[in-house]
Chain A
Amino acid sequence: MATTTVYLPHLASEDQKTGSSRAVPLPEIPPIAGNGFAILTNGWTGWYVLSDHLAKRLKDAGARDVFVVEREQISNGAMRPDDDQFLDDLAAKVSGAIAGLGNCGSCTSWSCSDSLQLERRGVRSGHVCVENFKYIASAVAKAQDQGDHPIVVLPPKANEMSSDELAKLADKILAELFKLEPTS
């Protein structure tokens, strides 16, 4: 059979990321006690409740500071380009960070990007999204050559869960990201 040679509609090699290489070393998981942590929020109601649980658990475990940061404070908008200065300042104060919630398409790509940006600044950071959007989070991480960036996947309706259910998810997040054992 004859062969036809065609072009593919994108460039080769370094211009299309595969996530197989790593742009920066993955920071070590910091001990909770004595360190600062940040929780980045972006407006989802359930994530506010979950953030409260996360902050309490981190403080109970001896965290020095826990900063719960509104995404709007970072960049004047939930889905806007990163504010480098703000992330620099935050990274100077914390050793660990949790960015969420990926509960829609663009909020996933932007909150995951925040997490990736903090990791690039030496912060052990993880992104949290619901099941429906884990593919986007993974794609964004791969595109930035941080394909093994920690991503915690929650059930699809996590944003609508009760406070008790969200408390259990807080345990799951902290166990996956910082190896903090659940309280019960």
Chain B
Amino acid sequence: MTSLLTQDIELTGELELQDWYRRSGFTDGLPVIVPTVERVEEFIRNSRFERTRRVGMIEPALGLATVESVAVNALMAGCRPEYLGVVLGALDAMTKSRFNLRGVQTTTNPVAPLTIVNGPVGQELGIDSGGHALGGGPYPNGVIGRGIRLALRNIGGVDVEVSQATLASTARYTFCLAEAEGSSPWEPFHVSLGYDAEQSVVTAVGVESVVNVVAHMWSDPEDMIGQFVHTMRAIGANVLCGQGTLVWVLNPAHARFLAQAGYTRQALQERFFEATKFTPEAWPFADTTGTRKLGNIQDAHGWSAEDGKVRITERASDIYVLVGGRDHPIHSTYMTAMPYSESTSAAVWQPDR
């Protein structure tokens, strides 16, 4: 027995069926694999998951995500059955209250949930951590991220009116990468969160925007850090209104350079945290959201700095430092955060049989 809804459609061609899903509001506008009963049943069977396992409630519709309802969306996105554990793990993370999925799904912010994959599953599935981690390559990143996104949309009841993003973001089609653990001078990122290196873990972050940072004219690590800090203090970053998780994806060359200079991941996080504090007077506007002064907002949260400076995150550990991308010593990537959405992690789901 299943609680999935079936529908009989008097259309037979694949293109017509795809368009029926688009017109019904079940897609991101791109073609989907049509989830016929036969295809879904085969997908669930091959995934080896128990179909009634519950993931959580997807805001704002409070739709129940189960293995079978997520599987339909994963299949539509183009996932293979073996990818389902990552999709389920990501949704598991995103339905934790600290992630604030209700806000993420309805905000005017362009936020897109990023899925970071760590542990053996990255290599097992071939999830890219290199030059195509965020797009364009023949890797599972695209369909895994899209499967997560379609599940958030369809199970969470996010139609074009519920999603109030001002201009949205192409990251809302798909947004999934693996950390380049083999190229990192530091322990895998998920180990810094308390997981074992052999665990496969997904971490969700509500990312507002992706910023490329060119840093190739350096000979001193402090110069490079200064350039990074300058980017992090960019006026207008929404994280200044409240808590959020910032993400650096340093290319392996940049990471090695900083590690050779003695920086551990934690030391780099603390360096970023201290160097990005600034006095409210440096803020060129009276208000941030047209409401209240910046310092007052952080006072309200109870985490204004004792030295009178405001912070771009509540804690140094909110500044994630990952390693990824090609081993070229030029570009690294910084991701700003949606305020009031804190990063969450969960284990990649393991099949039941």
Contact = CB atoms under 8 A, between A and B. Distances in A.
B135 interface: no
Contact of A1 (B12, B34, B163, B292): B12
A4 B5 contact: no
B242 A78 contact: yes
A179 interface: no
B340 A78 contact: yes
A11 B5 contact: yes
Contacts of A12: 3-5
A143 interface: yes
B76 interface: yes
Nearest to B302: A76
A3 B72 CA distance: 19
A51 to B, nearest CB: 13
A64 interface: no
Nearest to A45: B291
Interface stretch (A30-38, A89-97, A103-111, A167-175): A103-111
A43 B292 contact: yes
Grouping DSSP codes into helix (H, G, I), strand (E, B) and loop, the A interface class, with mixed when no group exceeds half, is mixed
Interface string A102-124: 00111011100100000000000
B157 A77 contact: no
B46 interface: no
A11 B69 contact: yes
B69 A106 contact: no
Contact of B12 (A4, A45, A80): A4
Interface residues of A, number: 43
B15 interface: no
Contacts of B155: 9-11
A159 B290 CA distance: 10
Contacts, number: 166
A178 B269 CA distance: 52
B6 to A, nearest CB: 6
B161 A135 contact: yes
A106 B107 contact: yes
B310 to A, nearest CB: 16
Contacts of B7: 5-8
Nearest to B8: A3
B108 A104 contact: yes
Contacts of B12: 1-2, 4
Interface string B93-135: 0000110101111111100000000000000000000000000
Interface of B: 3-12, 17, 26, 34-37, 40, 59-64, 66, 68-69, 72-73, 76, 97-98, 100, 102-109, 150-151, 154-155, 157, 161-165, 242-243, 289-292, 300-302, 339-340
6 smallest beta-carbon distances between A and B, as pairs: A105-B164, A106-B103, A9-B154, A106-B107, A15-B64, A105-B106
Interface of A: 1-13, 15-17, 43-45, 70, 72, 76-81, 104-106, 108-110, 113, 132-133, 135-136, 139-140, 143-144, 159
